Structure 1
Amino acid sequence: MIGVNKPTNGHFKGQTKPTGQQSGLHGTSQLPSAPIIRSSIPQSSGGIKFGDDWKKCLELPQKDNRVKTSDVTSTKGNEFEDYCLKRELLMGIFEMGWEKPSPIQEESIPIALSGRDILARAKNGTGKSGAYLIPLLERIDLKKDHIQAIVMVPTRELALQVSQISIQISKHLGGVKVMATTGGTNLRDDIMRLDEIVHVVIATPGRILDLIKKGVAKVNKAQIMVMDEADKLLSQDFVILIEDIISFLPKDRQILLYSATFPISVQKFMVRTHTAVKSNIEHLKKPYEINLMEELTLKGITQYYAYVTEKQKVHCLNTLFSRLQINQSIIFCNSTQRVELLAKKITQLGYSCFYIHAKMMQEYRNRVFHDFRNGLCRNLVCTDLFTRGIDIQAVNVVINFDFPKSAETYLHRIGRSGRFGHLGLAINLITSDDRYNLKSIEDQLVTDIKPIPGSIDKSLYVAEYHSVDPDDDDGSDGGLKNKEQGAA
């Protein structure tokens, strides 16, 4: 057995043996990063004069030529410039590598810019973050020094991710102040930051409500509130907090609600919207409804199951690691204890591995999230903490070491691969106790989870093997390479 160093804050370190995993990174321990086309343009757009060809001055990431499914390619043909956005905002959008609006962005951006409430349903990884951040940042008035927009998210990691995207696409706007505030961080630091100018707050419900009630976060002039992963935010865990937060907002605020699934909790929220006469709180006012999900399953993700006993799971995982070409993988367990035990076992087998769960200190969670996203490790073991909106483009394999109990959890888990219409692989380790759940989830999602074959075709989940979009028979996409660019 390979010696294992003591785990350090979610980072297990062990000697990595040469296996099938190595080919996914071409023998390196870090993911390839897309080269940047450098230019002399300053971070602000002050150096661009009228008549200049401003697009030639942008720091564009390398073009993403990976295959994409129709979830993000079936557009109306609009361009970001069609929405009369500020040039400085367009610069940030293009420098993110976002070339054209995805379907959810085409539907959302013009409606959100008009000031109307939105109730939107779209698949994971199809550009929902951009769908609300672009109109939100466009409407920020830098002459006003108060909080103008709040983005509510259910997890701390998602708050950090959304704030990073906001800062990146607004970097040329000349002074938009974005702040992320979540539980598990120093409250005094947040209070000091709010003493300065803040235009956009990205927050988890408990922390922002605490700051509002303390009189520190003044949201009485906030014109926009976004709920990302709304099905989670309107679940029993958060809905009372959300309603409390809404009560502090002005009556003429705009609410943008986005979710991949619309369970009963979201339906109740909608019902209350239409029966506002009987309610003290009118949540949404005649919302514009967007539904880009006629079916729940994600295109481009191939799903398999392996029927094993509990004792065979680690051996089966070891076999998968040796045979699959994994770029990065996320492995889900149903408890924090099993996460740590499995991460230790994976390291003993000789594979690089991080782990993350809700009982870890926030500082360590942030470090693991950052390092995994930057490609410092190939495998991440986690609980369902990591199922909400987390966008890591390099993940091409998701493994359910423990099978989830509900269809919604399953959907969000496998949605961590195949981000922004790219292809991915989902493998489920099924025991005899899971077989009824497997059938139930297949029925609810109207999908087919097949027995795992002896050999899995690499073209199903490895970018450089693809030559044709699986949802497009014209064969127009070819010569693809694995790049880490996409849209949030």
Structure 2
Amino acid sequence: MIGVNKPTNGHFKGQTKPTGQQSGLHGTSQLPSAPIIRSSIPQSSGGIKFGDDWKKCLELPQKDNRVKTSDVTSTKGNEFEDYCLKRELLMGIFEMGWEKPSPIQEESIPIALSGRDILARAKNGTGKSGAYLIPLLERIDLKKDHIQAIVMVPTRELALQVSQISIQISKHLGGVKVMATTGGTNLRDDIMRLDEIVHVVIATPGRILDLIKKGVAKVNKAQIMVMDEADKLLSQDFVILIEDIISFLPKDRQILLYSATFPISVQKFMNKHLKKPYEINLMEELTLKGITQYYAYVTEKQKVHCLNTLFSRLQINQSIIFCNSTQRVELLAKKITQLGYSCFYIHAKMMQEYRNRVFHDFRNGLCRNLVCTDLFTRGIDIQAVNVVINFDFPKSAETYLHRIGRSGRFGHLGLAINLITSDDRYNLKSIEDQLVTDIKPIPGSIDKSLYVAEYHSVDPDDDDDGTLWP
């Protein structure tokens, strides 16, 4: 038995053994306990003068040469410059590594810039965040010192992610103030932050409504409201809060709805609150084209052994492993560590600062494996994840779709493996039928070209420096 250190805030540490994962990464970190997201990055115009070739001055990330599927490449051929965006915003877009608009961005950006309401349906991982953040930031007026836009999201992790993207692409705009506010954080800090200038608020519904009712977040002049993962925001958990928030907005506001799945609740909301919305539907098929799906038929007792076999045979850059309960998440994370692989875990019952730490560290490549509940299915974008494993098979097609969408982000290749017991077999067939997708029996060996790109191979020096390469 390999010794296991006591779990620390979602981080397990175990002795690592050589496997198909090619030296698992240790779960230690030198990073701060939680990323700071409330204060805006210092803004500057980059010192670009009229007549300069401004593109030469950009600090571009390494070019992503991985294969991309038609989910993001089947475009009209537009360029970001075609939308008459501010040069400073274009600088931030290109420095994010976004070279050309994806299909949802092509359809959405010009309509959103015109001020019209939008109901957009597009697959997970195809650029929805950019589709609404780019026009939103373009329309911010720095001469006005009030809240001009609100982005509603269902989870704290997604709020953190969207706020970081907003800050990055607006960093040359000369003073756009972005703030994230979520439950589970210090309310006093948010009240003090709102005493200063804030232009864009990215929030979970409960917290922003609390701040609005306290008279701290004044949204009566907010012209734009975005709902990301709108199907979740309009579920029974949130819909009353959303309706309440809208009652504080001006009557001439613009509402943008984005989601991969659109249940009847979304249709009802649209009929009530949107004015002649422009409808976008890029969902001719539901699952991402780059994700290969398999199932392994096992008993409950065989699941951990099967997982160990997968770890030893697959070339995993990073994996997300889903369980159906918080208790099973912690038990499985412990088992994985006992098998000799480093592992993080995350679920809704953890303190927020620990959740932030795990999310931040995993996103920065400090561990290969993350065990979680469905908390982590909504909008979370970690490019290095190429394998998703459903240790427990989900009950609904919608949950399945969001889970496997954590791999194959932005048209890249990914692998989804489902551990199926006899109790799951009817559910498997039902989900295949609903999503019109084919989940095949797992073969003896899986072709690496289906889910591995050279761009994200493991560090050839194999020096276990705690980072993914490049």
Tell me if both proteins adopt one fold, taking TM over 0.5 as the criterion. Answer: yes
Cα deviation, residue 464, structure 1? 2.1
Cα deviation, residue 31, structure 1? 15
Cα distance change on mapping 1:179 and 1:297 into 2, 3 Å: same
Cα deviation, residue 415, structure 1? 0.0
Cα deviation, residue 266, structure 1? 1.2
Q: Secondary structure at the match of 1:25?
A: coil
Cα distance change on mapping 1:199 and 1:377 into 2, 3 Å: same
Cα distance change on mapping 1:99 and 1:468 into 2, 3 Å: farther
Q: Structure 2 stretches of 5 or more lacking a match?
A: none
Does structure 2 retain, via aligned residues, the 8 Å contact 1:121–1:290?
yes
Residue by residue over 1:462-484, the C-alpha shift from the partner in whole angstroms, topping out at 9 and shown as x without a partner, is: 0129999999999xx9999xxxx
Cα distance change on mapping 1:473 and 1:236 into 2, 3 Å: farther
Aligned to 1:10: 10
Does structure 2 retain, via aligned residues, the 8 Å contact 1:34–1:61?
no
Does structure 2 retain, via aligned residues, the 8 Å contact 1:24–1:327?
no
State the alpha-carbon separation in 1 of the partners of residues 162 and 426 from structure 2: 37
* Larger deviation, residues 430-439 vs 464-473: 464-473
Does structure 1 retain, via aligned residues, the 8 Å contact 2:75–2:106?
yes
Cα deviation, residue 268, structure 1? 2.0
Show the 5 A alignment for 1:347-426: 347-426=337-416
Q: Secondary structure at the match of 2:82?
A: helix
Cα distance change on mapping 1:78 and 1:478 into 2, 3 Å: farther
Does structure 1 retain, via aligned residues, the 8 Å contact 2:43–2:175?
no
* Larger deviation, residues 450-459 vs 258-267: 258-267
Cα distance change on mapping 1:328 and 1:456 into 2, 3 Å: same
Cα distance change on mapping 1:467 and 1:38 into 2, 3 Å: farther
Cα distance change on mapping 1:239 and 1:401 into 2, 3 Å: same
Q: Secondary structure at the match of 1:23?
A: coil
State the alpha-carbon separation in 1 of the partners of residues 196 and 274 from structure 2: 31
Residue by residue over 1:264-304, the C-alpha shift from the partner in whole angstroms, topping out at 9 and shown as x without a partner, is: 2112223xxxxxxxxxxx41000000000012121110000
Cα distance change on mapping 1:85 and 1:36 into 2, 3 Å: farther
Cα deviation, residue 255, structure 1? 0.3
State the alpha-carbon separation in 1 of the partners of residues 164 and 253 from structure 2: 25
Cα distance change on mapping 1:471 and 1:245 into 2, 3 Å: farther
Cα distance change on mapping 1:190 and 1:403 into 2, 3 Å: same
Q: Secondary structure at the match of 2:315?
A: coil
Cα deviation, residue 30, structure 1? 12
Q: Secondary structure at the match of 2:94?
A: helix
* Larger deviation, residues 254-263 vs 25-34: 25-34
Q: Secondary structure at the match of 1:321?
A: helix
Q: Structure 1 stretches of 5 or more lacking a match?
A: 271-281, 481-488
Cα deviation, residue 44, structure 1? 1.7
Cα deviation, residue 200, structure 1? 0.2
Q: Secondary structure at the match of 2:218?
A: coil
Q: Secondary structure at the match of 1:24?
A: coil
State the alpha-carbon separation in 2 of the partners of residues 452 and 65 from structure 1: 28
Does structure 2 retain, via aligned residues, the 8 Å contact 1:35–1:61?
no
> 2:131 matched to 1:131?
yes
State the alpha-carbon separation in 2 of the partners of residues 35 and 383 from structure 1: 22
Does structure 2 retain, via aligned residues, the 8 Å contact 1:333–1:382?
yes
Does structure 2 retain, via aligned residues, the 8 Å contact 1:70–1:471?
no
Cα deviation, residue 81, structure 1? 0.4
* Larger deviation, residues 290-299 vs 402-411: 290-299
Q: Secondary structure at the match of 2:296?
A: strand
Q: Secondary structure at the match of 2:21?
A: helix
Does structure 2 retain, via aligned residues, the 8 Å contact 1:22–1:325?
yes
Cα distance change on mapping 1:34 and 1:18 into 2, 3 Å: farther
State the alpha-carbon separation in 2 of the partners of residues 129 and 376 from structure 1: 25
Does structure 2 retain, via aligned residues, the 8 Å contact 1:120–1:291?
yes
Residue by residue over 1:378-407, the C-alpha shift from the partner in whole angstroms, topping out at 9 and shown as x without a partner, is: 000000000000000000000000000000
Cα deviation, residue 150, structure 1? 0.1
Cα deviation, residue 45, structure 1? 1.8
State the alpha-carbon separation in 2 of the partners of residues 121 and 472 from structure 1: 42
Cα deviation, residue 432, structure 1? 0.5
Cα distance change on mapping 1:322 and 1:15 into 2, 3 Å: same
Residue by residue over 1:297-337, the C-alpha shift from the partner in whole angstroms, topping out at 9 and shown as x without a partner, is: 21110000000000000000000000000000000000000
State the alpha-carbon separation in 2 of the partners of residues 173 and 103 from structure 1: 25
* Larger deviation, residues 208-217 vs 16-25: 16-25
Does structure 2 retain, via aligned residues, the 8 Å contact 1:23–1:325?
no
State the alpha-carbon separation in 1 of the partners of residues 274 and 239 from structure 2: 15
Cα distance change on mapping 1:40 and 1:266 into 2, 3 Å: closer
Does structure 2 retain, via aligned residues, the 8 Å contact 1:333–1:339?
yes
Cα deviation, residue 82, structure 1? 0.4
Does structure 2 retain, via aligned residues, the 8 Å contact 1:40–1:57?
no
Does structure 2 retain, via aligned residues, the 8 Å contact 1:209–1:241?
yes
Cα distance change on mapping 1:223 and 1:261 into 2, 3 Å: same
Cα deviation, residue 48, structure 1? 1.1
* Larger deviation, residues 19-28 vs 180-189: 19-28
Does structure 2 retain, via aligned residues, the 8 Å contact 1:25–1:327?
no
Residue by residue over 1:197-231, the C-alpha shift from the partner in whole angstroms, topping out at 9 and shown as x without a partner, is: 00000000000000001110000000000000000
Cα distance change on mapping 1:186 and 1:119 into 2, 3 Å: same
Cα deviation, residue 28, structure 1? 13
Show the 5 A alignment for 1:77-476: 77-270=77-270, 282-464=272-454
Does structure 2 retain, via aligned residues, the 8 Å contact 1:151–1:225?
yes
Cα distance change on mapping 1:75 and 1:288 into 2, 3 Å: same
Does structure 2 retain, via aligned residues, the 8 Å contact 1:69–1:299?
yes
State the alpha-carbon separation in 2 of the partners of residues 38 and 51 from structure 1: 35
Q: Secondary structure at the match of 2:34?
A: coil
Cα distance change on mapping 1:141 and 1:393 into 2, 3 Å: same
Residue by residue over 1:135-158, the C-alpha shift from the partner in whole angstroms, topping out at 9 and shown as x without a partner, is: 000000000000000000000000
Cα distance change on mapping 1:81 and 1:470 into 2, 3 Å: farther
Normalised to the residue count of structure 2, the TM-score between the two structures is: 0.93
Cα distance change on mapping 1:473 and 1:439 into 2, 3 Å: farther
Residue by residue over 1:153-205, the C-alpha shift from the partner in whole angstroms, topping out at 9 and shown as x without a partner, is: 00000000000000000000010000000000000110010000000000000
Does structure 1 retain, via aligned residues, the 8 Å contact 2:69–2:289?
yes
Does structure 1 retain, via aligned residues, the 8 Å contact 2:365–2:466?
no
Aligned to 2:467: 479
Cα distance change on mapping 1:119 and 1:37 into 2, 3 Å: closer
Residue by residue over 1:363-392, the C-alpha shift from the partner in whole angstroms, topping out at 9 and shown as x without a partner, is: 000000000000000000000000000000
Percent of counterpart pairs with the same letter?
Answer: 100
Cα deviation, residue 412, structure 1? 0.1
Cα distance change on mapping 1:129 and 1:172 into 2, 3 Å: same
Does structure 1 retain, via aligned residues, the 8 Å contact 2:34–2:356?
no
Does structure 1 retain, via aligned residues, the 8 Å contact 2:40–2:177?
no
Cα distance change on mapping 1:457 and 1:365 into 2, 3 Å: same
Cα distance change on mapping 1:120 and 1:37 into 2, 3 Å: closer
